[in-house]
């Protein structure tokens, strides 16, 4: 009999209904996820399952899982969640999604469940750990890299530099990784977390939670598998989920 595959919950994006006559996907609200999120989890030995947006069901969902991936998307964490007095004009939110993901992360952390936050998922993780965000990178970093890269997302946009001695460094076995980049916000401080990677312009690229079995957030999209480090990140998550389930 084969070993049980760790069940990895993957958060979904949500989209509004398309106006009548526009030819959109559906005239009703719908969930969405890129195929490569699910594919890389399966390729690394996990069993991916999609999670809907119902905060009241979060604890019940997490009770069935071995690990959690909080995905990214073209939206922002509501600034009031980290005490920002003003809202930048570029900020777009999806409150229902954020509420559901926050409930999932909190339920997962109560069980010390392995968690991987990706792009916006990393930013939410930072906020839930008591951190804050930069609402628009160009307004804070005058010499910022192109963090919303013009080239395709399955290509590298820039490198990130990983701090020696961190869990992330041990996991990927490198101090520097080429990554893709698709974000206009960034972590300002990580609260109870520790910043473990930055870009050359000092924008925060990864964080982790010391003393936790596996709680890592990365600002890039490792599901595209641009480097060996991307796959090692998912393998680390799934191995931690496997160990937790033994």
Give the residue numbers marked as catalytic.
119, 221, 223
- 204 phi/psi in degrees, rounded to 5: -70, 130
Three-point CA angle 75, 81, 85, nearest 5°: 100
Picking from 202, 155, 146, the residue whose alpha carbon sits closest to that of residue 180 is: 155
> How many of the other CB atoms lie within 10 Å of CB of 147?
22
Task: Give the list of residues 6+ apart from residue 43 with CB closer than 8 angstroms, or none.
Answer: 231
Helix or strand or coil: residue 238?
Answer: helix
C-alpha span between 194 and 207 (Å, rounded): 5
Picking from 145, 146, 141, 117, the residue whose alpha carbon sits closest to that of residue 208 is: 117
C-alpha span between 223 and 71 (Å, rounded): 10
Helix or strand or coil: residue 94?
Answer: coil
């Amino acid at each position: 009999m084969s070993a049980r595959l760790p069940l990895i919950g993957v958060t979904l994006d949500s989209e509004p209904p398309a106006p009548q006559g526009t030819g959109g996907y559906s005239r009703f609200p719908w969930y969405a996820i890129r195929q490569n999120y699910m594919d890389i989890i399966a390729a690394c030995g996990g069993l991916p399952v999609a999670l809907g947006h119902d905060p009241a069901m979060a604890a019940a969902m997490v009770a069935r899982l071995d690990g959690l991936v909080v995905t990214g998307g073209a939206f922002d964490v509501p600034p009031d969640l980290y005490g920002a007095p003003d809202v930048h004009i570029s900020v777009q939110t999806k409150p229902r999604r954020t509420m559901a993901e926050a409930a999932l992360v909190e339920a997962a952390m109560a069980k010390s469940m392995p968690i991987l936050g990706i792009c916006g998922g990393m930013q939410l993780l930072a906020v839930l750990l008591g951190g804050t965000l930069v609402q628009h990178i160009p307004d804070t970093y005058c010499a910022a890299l192109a963090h919303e890269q013009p080239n395709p997302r399955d290509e590298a946009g820039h490198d990130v530099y990983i701090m020696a001695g961190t869990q992330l460094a041990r996991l990927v076995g490198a101090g520097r990784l080429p990554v893709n980049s698709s974000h206009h916000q960034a972590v300002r401080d990580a609260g109870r977390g520790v910043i473990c990677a930055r870009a050359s312009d000092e924008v925060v690229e990864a964080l982790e939670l010391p003393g936790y079995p596996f709680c890592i957030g990365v600002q890039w999209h490792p599901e595209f598998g641009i480097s060996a480090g991307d796959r090692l990140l998912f393998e680390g998550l799934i191995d931690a989920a496997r160990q937790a389930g033994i």
